Structure 1
Amino acid sequence: MKITHIIPALTKGGAERVLIDLANEAAARGHEVTVVAACPVDPAEGQAMLHKDVRLEFIATRRSRFRRYGLLPAWVARHWHFLREQDVVHCHLTLGALVGTAIRILRRLHGGTKPRVVETFHGVGMPIKPWQLRLATALASQRDGFALMAEDAHWTRFATRHPALPLAIIPNGIAIGTAMPSDEDVATYRKEVGIPRDARAVVGTVGRMLAERKPLAIIEAFAEIAKRCGDGVHFLMGGSGPMLAEVRAAGDEAGLGHRLHLPGLVIEPRIAMRLMDLYVSINVGPITGIAGLEAAATHVPLIALQTLPHHRLSDRDWIWSDASPKRVGEEAAQLLSDPGARAALAERQHAYVLSNHSAASMASAYEALYVRAGAQAG
C-alpha cells in the first residue's frame, strides 16, 4: 500500500509522535510510506526518529505560516501525479485537513477513486474555539475515512448524522522498545537540570507550556505535594512554550524555588522520566497524552490532572485522575509515602500500555480503516 501522511511540522507533540510511530510501523510492514511536512525543523525534535525507509518531503523550505498555507494550492497541483498514485493520504492537524480537502476537489475534477483521504482528529476533548470545531466538522464530512483517538459527545452525534462514513475510535499508540536509558545518561541529565542526588523524590511532567495543557494547575498540584512532603521533593517540568516564564513565576510564588526545574524542550523524554518517582499527566476523561503513555512504558507510575470537571472514575480509567490540583497533590503525596504501592501501580500501568497502546496495534487499526475507506471511495 502507498501511504502519504500530511502534517504541519515534525515538532515535539502528541499528533507528531503518533504520525512518526504510525509511519515507521507501516514501513516496517512493507508499505511505501511518505511524510509531507510544511517545513523542516530541527531533526532532533522528531524528523530523526523516522525510519530510513520513510520518505520525507517539505512543502516550503522556511518556517513561515504565510508560506506554509500560501503554497498549499500550488504544491497540491504540482504533485497531483504523485498524489493520485497513493492509496491513502492521511491528514493530520489543520494543514493536513486543508490538503485533504484540496485532494478531494481535484479527485472529483479528474475522476478516479485514488487517493483515499483519511483524517485523524487529534483534538478530542481539548479546548477548541467554536468556529474551529465547526470547520473541522464540515471538513470531516468530506473524508473517505475519519479517526478519533477517543469518544466524544460531539463526534458521537457527528457519526450518527453520517452513518455511511467509515469512522473509527483508534487509541494513540507508541513504539515500545525494551531498551531503557542508561544509568550514565540519566545521571548526566540529572546533573544538567540541577536535581541533587540526595533529593528524596522527583515528581515530574513533560509537555508544551500552553494554556490547554494546564501548566499552572500542575504547579498548584506540585505546591500541594511540597506542603505535604517537605523540602526533599523536587519537581521537573519539561517542555517549551509561550507560558514558560509565567510557569516559572508561579513556581516562585508557590515557594517551590530551586526545587522546580524547567529545562525547556526535552528531546529524549524517557531519560527525563527515568529520573521521576511519579509522573503527573493531563487526562481528557480516561484518555492520557503521548507523554503519559511514554511514562508508563518507562515503568514510571502516573496519576493525572483531569480536564473534564464532571468526569467520574470508572473501569475505563487506568490512570487515577481528578480535576482539583489539590486532590492531585494529595494523591501524589500518598503514593510518595508508599514505595510498594508506587511499584505495583507502575507494573499495572506498564502492562496496560503494552496490551492496549502499542504502535503495532494502532497501525493494525489504521490499516483496517484504510481498507474501509477504500470501499467508501470506490
Structure 2
Amino acid sequence: MTAPPPTTVSRHSAAKTVLFTALTISLVASVVVSAGTGQLAIPPQEVLGSLLHRVGIDWLPMPTHPTGDATLWAIRFPRVAMAALVGAGLAVAGLLMQAIFGNPLAEPGVIGVSSGAAVGAGLAIVFGLTLFGEWTTAVLAFAAGLSATLLVYGMSRAEGRTEVVTLVLTGIAVNAIAGAAIALLTFLGDTQSREQIVFWQLGSLAGSRWSQVLIVAPVVAVGLCAAYLAARKLDLLSLGERNARHLGVNVEVLRITMIFVVALLTGAAVAFAGIIAFVGLVIPHLMRMMLGPAHLPLVTASALGGALLLTLADLAARTMVPNADMPIGMLTALVGGPFFFWLLRRTRKRSGGWG
C-alpha cells in the first residue's frame, strides 16, 4: 500500500488546523455573545472582563451595571456552559453510534436512551416523586435511559454476540413502547404535568445551574476520554468486523463499551436538558465530510462543533421571540430535519443508498 504524497498530507494537516482554529474561535465568540445577550445586555468586553477578573487578570472592564456581574455568574454562564457540554456530549455520542453501526444515519436515540429517559422524567412529573429532592426528575430520567439501553442491548444478544440489525430493530420497538408510555403519562397527568412533559420533550436549558454543570461536566469528560482511547479501534472497525478481528480488535467488547459510553453521554444530557434531536446526527457527519474517516480528530471536531451548534441554538431560543424562551430541541429539529433529507438524497445519488 503506497503512502499518500507529502503535499496531500500537508494539505490535509493544514485543513485540519484551519477547521479546529475556526471552530475554537467561533465557540469562544458564541459563548461571549450568548452570555452578554438578554434583557440585561452586557457588551462582549465586559463579559470577557468578568471572566478574566475571576482568574486574577484585570485587563478589561467589569460590567458597569450594578447587577451585571452577578447576572453573568448566576444565570448566563451556567446556561452557556450547559449548552456547550450537552452539545459536545450529544455530538460525540452520535459519532460513536455512527462508528459502531457503520452508518451515518445512526444517532443516540436508536438505542432507546432518549425515549427511556423521557419515560423516567414523565413518571417523576406526573406522580410528583421526590425520592431525590430537586434532582428526582434528572435522576429518574438518567436511570430510565440507561435501563432502556441495557434492555435493548440484552435483547439483541445471541450466542454471546450482538447483532447490529437486531439491536436497531429492538431499539425501534423499545422507542415505540416508550412513546406509548409517555402518551399514557400525558393522559394521566393534570394540565401542569402535561405542560411540563411536553416542554421537557422539546428540550430546554432554562434554569441551568452550576450544580447541574458540575454533574454533567465529569460525565462528558469521561465520555470524551473513552472516545479518544477507542479512536484507533474504531478506525479498524470501519474496515469491517472481520478485518477488525483479524487485526486484534475485540469487536464485541468495543461495541458494548461504546454503547455504554453513548448511553452515559446521552443520558446525562437528556436528564438536565430534555430531548434535543439531531445534534448527534448532523455534527459528526459534517465533521466527517470535512476531515475524513479518522476518528481521533473527529472526536475533537465533533465535540467543538456540537458545543458551537447548541450554544448558537440556545442563543436563538432566547432571542428569536421577544420575552420568550423557545424550546431548543425544536430549533435543532428545524435545522436537522432538512439536513437529514439532504443526506438521504446525497447518499442515494452517490451510491444508491445503504442497501
The two structures have a TM-score, normalised by structure 2, of 0.25
In terms of fraction of residues, the more helix-rich structure is 2
Q: Going by fraction, where is strand more abundant, 1 or 2? A: 1
Bigger relative CO (Cα 8 Å, ≥ 6 apart): 2
